[in-house]
């Protein structure tokens, strides 16, 4: 997580340093500034530019923003940059005396509610959370999606789910995966009519008349290609393989290959366009991988790379599995294979 903190008083800076130190010790990145008449004496970097400029930059660069000061300052600062609950960062406000921490924006999908509780516990403040499902102690589908790293395909349907829950209507639940923990009372796996939630890598299957799809990001795509392969060919085969397997593009966790391809322009362009991380392995690492049923080997590939198969081996290695979801598919100098990371739905 990348957290941005700004304080406007000496007392606020004391809390800012405390929160910064605690979150950096957990491995997070914290950007901390202060702004005020005597700010140079407060012990953290002074904001030289405008608050509006700082807020705009932090909105683009950070996951969460914490204003330690008046709520009105925060509201005016973020107003020009608020766009969508699907993309806005979490925004919190804390008073300079540390009495209250308020979840101001992106409570569920952005994680502001959870972060509010964490910071309040850290400084001994009262968390202030005003979202209806939280206030009523009800199941929140967008908070669940954030916590479980699930892609949520429709904000209007997520809003409809929340509205039905607040009206004490039961929501259907379908899952392609094992469910652990106690299913919330607001959900039912027996209910088949009306509005329901589907947890699956297949966004085309609608088990309910109105289906909100939650897609786990568990698909690892191993990709190989000839040197200089254009991005269009890579994209075409990936889309073809996804469609043939009823696998949502939103289920892709990352693209993997051999280290010989770490600077391959077509692969890098594809990953950038689809906003996917790209990871590579050495031939020695790939050679040690095992696969149920064996690999689709190629003597030509072994001659070039030092290992008989790139896409299948890299997918299995990255996913930590021994069984492929999709074996190698080859077309126009591109190869694609898919492995799925182990996943269970956790309501614990």
Exposed/middle/buried for residue 313 (C-beta within 10 Å: 0-12, 13-18, 19+) = buried
Distance CA 150, CA 200 (A): 10
**Phi and psi (nearest 5°) for 34?**
-130, 155
pLDDT digits (tens, 9 = 90+) for 220-239: 999 999 999 999 999 999 99
pLDDT tier at 304, thresholds 50, 70, 90: confident
Average pLDDT over residues 70-92: 94
Least confident interval from 33-37, 148-152, 205-209, 229-233: 33-37
pLDDT digits (tens, 9 = 90+) for 119-160: 999 999 999 999 877 777 889 999 899 889 999 999 999 999
pLDDT digits (tens, 9 = 90+) for 100-128: 999 999 988 889 999 999 999 999 999 99
Domain boundaries of the chain, sorted by first residue: 2-130, 141-216, 219-340
Average pLDDT over residues 284-312: 87
Tell me which residue has tokens 């795509």: 221
Distance CA 7, CA 136 (A): 32
Distance CA 264, CA 163 (A): 48
CATH of span 141-216: 3.40.1390.40
Distance CA 134, CA 120 (A): 16
- 195 forms beta bridges with 210
> Which pLDDT belongs to residue 41?
78
> Which pLDDT belongs to residue 345?
95
pTM: 0.78
Contacts 24+ apart (CB under 8 A), 50-54: 51/6, 51/77, 52/77, 52/80, 54/6
Tell me which residue has tokens 């040690």: 288
Looking at domain 219-340, which CATH architecture does it have?
2-Layer Sandwich (3.30)
Domain 2-130 has CATH 3.40.50.11220: yes
Domain 141-216 and domain 219-340, same fold? Reply is no
Q: Is the pLDDT of residue 40 over 90?
A: no
Distance CA 316, CA 134 (A): 39
Exposed/middle/buried for residue 341 (C-beta within 10 Å: 0-12, 13-18, 19+) = middle
Q: Is the pLDDT of residue 181 over 80?
A: yes
Distance CA 199, CA 275 (A): 22
Query: What tokens were used for 264?
Result: 């391959």
């Amino acid at each position: 997580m990348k957290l941005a903190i700004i304080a406007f008083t000496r007392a606020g800076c004391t809390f800012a340093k405390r929160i910064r130190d605690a979150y950096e010790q957990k491995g997070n990145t914290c950007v901390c500034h202060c702004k005020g008449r005597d700010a140079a004496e407060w012990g953290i970097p002074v904001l030289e530019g405008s608050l509006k400029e700082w807020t705009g930059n932090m909105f683009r660069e950070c996951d969460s923003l914490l204003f330690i000061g008046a709520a009105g300052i925060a509201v005016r600062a973020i107003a020009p940059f608020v766009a969508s609950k699907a993309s806005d960062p979490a925004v919190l406000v804390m008073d300079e005396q540390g009495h209250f921490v308020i979840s101001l924006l992106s409570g569920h999908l952005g994680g502001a509610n959870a972060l509010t509780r964490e910071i309040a516990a850290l400084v001994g403040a009262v968390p202030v959370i005003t979202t209806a499902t939280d206030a009523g102690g009800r199941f929140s589908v967008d908070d669940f999606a954030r916590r479980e790293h699930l892609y949520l395909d429709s904000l209007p349907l997520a809003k409809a789910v929340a509205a039905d829950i607040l009206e004490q209507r039961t929501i259907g639940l379908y899952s392609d995966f094992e469910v652990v923990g106690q299913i919330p009372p607001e959900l039912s796996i027996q209910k088949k009519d009306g509005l329901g939630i589907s947890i699956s890598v297949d966004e085309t299957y609608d088990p309910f008349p109105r289906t909100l799809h939650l897609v786990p990001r568990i698909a690892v795509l191993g990709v190989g290609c000839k040197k200089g392969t254009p991005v269009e060919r890579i994209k075409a085969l990936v889309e073809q393989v996804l469609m043939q397997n009823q696998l949502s593009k939103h289920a892709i966790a990352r693209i993997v290959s051999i280290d010989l391809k770490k600077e391959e322009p077509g692969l890098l362009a594809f990953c950038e366009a689809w906003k996917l991380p790209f990871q590579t392995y050495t031939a020695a690492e790939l050679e040690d991988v095992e696969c149920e049923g064996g690999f689709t080997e190629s003597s030509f590939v072994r001659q070039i790379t030092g290992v008989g198969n790139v896409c299948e081996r890299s997918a299995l290695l990255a996913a930590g599995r021994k069984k492929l979801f999709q074996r190698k598919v080859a077309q126009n100098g591109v190869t694609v294979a898919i492995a799925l990371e182990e996943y269970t739905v956790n309501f614990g």
